[in-house]
Amino acid sequence: MSDPKKLYIKTYGCQMNVYDSERMAETLGGQGYVETQTPDDADMILLNTCHIREKAAEKVYSELGRFKGLKAEKPDLKIGVAGCVAQAEGEEIMRRQPLVDLVVGPQSYHRLPEMEAKTREGAKALDTDFPEEDKFEMLKNRPKAKRGPTAFLTVQEGCDKFCAFCVVPYTRGAEVSRPADRILREAQDLVERGVREITLLGQNVNAYHGAGSNGDMTLAGLIWELNKVDGLERIRFTTSHPNDMADDLIEAHGTCEKLMPYLHLPVQSGSDRILKRMNRSHTAESYLRLLERIRAARPDIVMSGDFIVGFPEETEEDFQATLDLVEQVKYGYAYSFKYSTRPGTPAAERSQVDPQAADDRLQRLQALITRHQREIQDAMVGRTVRVLFEKPGRLPGQMVGKSEYLHSVHVSDADVGIGDLKDVRITSSGANSLAGALV
């Protein structure tokens, strides 16, 4: 038998891309590829790109430029670009960077084997269609290899919301939910391979409405089905839109034992004027009322969110409203970004905020978020949390895992293995993690 060919995948951006990269590697496994951690010995390099912020495309071009030497040494090396930059740029990528052999958009990953074969014949392969067939079903099954205790599982893709700043509806396309039975089968398979915690993924995961045994199933319905899977201990989901936070999902946060008390629910801004201009279809007030209901169902839930500062036309007063909202919510985690113009989106045409003012706002917002984050983490000291151990820590004898609230927790010199779920009493809180001892 010939030696396996080596595949190097570099993943940018969100968890969805992490999941997609795994599935692409598995699919190309059927073509005789095994993954390698360095581009130097690869027979194929795939960049799985993200287009959500910053000069994404430019970064991809400069990364590609760095492979020139490798390709010169090894003319058989194939170079591919996948992900949202591939979708947005299409053929332009091959025009600007002739060393690229393959360009594949997120909806066409199941076509990778044919595309790879085409490149082996010396041709270029491009596919940025939005085909009708079920990509996930056609992607090759995962090999039965053992896995770590946590895994992502994409259940829904695409978005119909069209927030004025966002490229997702253009690069990932319209919202599509996978049928429930296929998701359950995939979950079962993951559990058989050692997974104990599954994070359900979707750009708008709480809008999930996949075909179930009797009609469409909601995300809560799907979570209840997963709750029955023996050996699966924890369920999480991300990322959600406030308008799709249905009653049954809120209720599940109070009653479904495997659903973890953590919710990522981006609000983007605290100013109603800006929210309207963002086409968000909720107000700061309606978001806060929604949170009251979620917290009534699950009082200890830790909230997480996303913010954009310096959105076109944002004034100091608008920004102040964002700080006020953050002050009221107190996020356990929050991600804040400076607005970045995405060509083709409605907000790109509007009058931009002075970059220095935007920088200054970002710093102030992040300082406030960091303070809350730290307060919430520090408040865990003295409490007992349940930790799913994932890997050895940096120091000898240390093991690290995540609490139900997604805090990193480490213990030292304890008898725990990867995949163990144990009660830990928290003894101290550091910059980015908690330390404790087994109970």
Length of the chain: 439
Whether the Cβ atoms of residue 64 and residue 97 lie closer than 8 Å to each other:
yes
Rule CB under 6 A: is residue 161 a binding residue for ligand SF4? Answer: yes
**Contacted by 435, from ligand SF4, ligand 5AD, none: CB < 5 to 8 Å by type:** none
Query: Of the candidates 332, 243, 321, 349, which has an alpha carbon nearest to the alpha carbon of residue 287?
Result: 243
The single residue among 50, 159, 250, 265 that binds ligand SF4, judged by CB under 6 A, is: 159
C-beta atoms surrounding 165 within 10 Å: 24
Query: Of the candidates 174, 102, 182, which has an alpha carbon nearest to the alpha carbon of residue 132?
Result: 174
The single residue among 25, 42, 166, 435 that binds ligand SF4, judged by CB under 6 A, is: 166
**Contacted by 159, from ligand SF4, ligand 5AD, none: CB < 5 to 8 Å by type:** ligand SF4
Q: How far is the CB of 64 from ligand 5AD (least distance, A)?
A: 23
- For 27-85, the three-class secondary structure string (H helix, E strand, C coil) is HHHCCCEEECCCHHHCCEEEEEECCCCCCHHHHHHHHHHCCHHHHHHCCCCEEEEEHHH
Rule CB under 6 A: is residue 270 a binding residue for ligand 5AD? Answer: no
Rule CB under 6 A: is residue 342 a binding residue for ligand 5AD? Answer: yes
Nearer to ligand SF4, 53 or 124 (CB): 53
Query: Of the candidates 315, 363, 359, which has an alpha carbon nearest to the alpha carbon of residue 339?
Result: 359
Q: Is 333 helix (H, G, I), strand (E, B) or coil?
A: strand
Rule CB under 6 A: is residue 162 a binding residue for ligand SF4? Answer: yes
Q: Report how far residue 18's alpha carbon sits from residue 83's, in angstroms, rounded to the nearest whole number.
A: 11
CA 2 to chain centre: 36
The single residue among 52, 256, 288, 323 that binds ligand 5AD, judged by CB under 6 A, is: 52
Scanning 77-85, 164-172, 334-342, 357-365 for contacts with ligand SF4 by CB under 6 A, the matching segment is 164-172
Nearer to ligand 5AD, 5 or 342 (CB): 342
Rule CB under 6 A: is residue 426 a binding residue for ligand SF4? Answer: no
- Which residue has 């100013």 as its token pair? 271
DSSP code string of 350-404: SPPPPHHHHHHHHHHHHHHHHHHHHHHHHTTTT-EEEEEEEEE-SSTTEEEEE-T
**Contacted by 198, from ligand 5AD, ligand SF4, none: CB < 5 to 8 Å by type:** none
Nearer to ligand SF4, 165 or 389 (CB): 165
Nearest residue relative to ligand 5AD (C-beta): 306
Nearer to ligand 5AD, 26 or 244 (CB): 244
Q: How far is the CB of 268 from ligand SF4 (least distance, A)?
A: 7
Nearer to ligand 5AD, 238 or 377 (CB): 238
Scanning 272-280, 318-326, 338-346, 352-360 for contacts with ligand 5AD by CB under 6 A, the matching segment is 338-346
Rule CB under 6 A: is residue 308 a binding residue for ligand 5AD? Answer: yes
- Which residue has 């001892």 as its token pair? 437
Q: How far is the CB of 95 from ligand 5AD (least distance, A)?
A: 25
Rule CB under 6 A: is residue 130 a binding residue for ligand 5AD? Answer: no
| Residue ranges in 169-188 that form contacts with ligand SF4 under rule CB under 6 A | 169
Q: Report how far residue 132's alpha carbon sits from residue 177's, in angstroms, rounded to the nearest whole number.
A: 13
Residues sharing a CB contact under 8 Å with residue 3, sequence separation 6 or more, in sequence order: none
Nearer to ligand SF4, 207 or 302 (CB): 207
Scanning 89-97, 166-174, 269-277, 424-432 for contacts with ligand SF4 by CB under 6 A, the matching segment is 166-174
What's phi and psi for 238, nearest 5 deg? -165, 140
Q: Report how far residue 124's alpha carbon sits from residue 251's, in angstroms, rounded to the nearest whole number.
A: 51
Nearer to ligand SF4, 169 or 221 (CB): 169
Query: Of the candidates 388, 397, 378, 386, which has an alpha carbon nearest to the alpha carbon of residue 425?
Result: 386
Residues that bind ligand SF4 (CB under 6 A): 159, 161-163, 166, 168-169, 203-204, 241
Q: Which residues bind ligand 5AD (CB under 6 A)?
A: 52-53, 165-166, 266, 268, 306, 308, 337, 339-340, 342
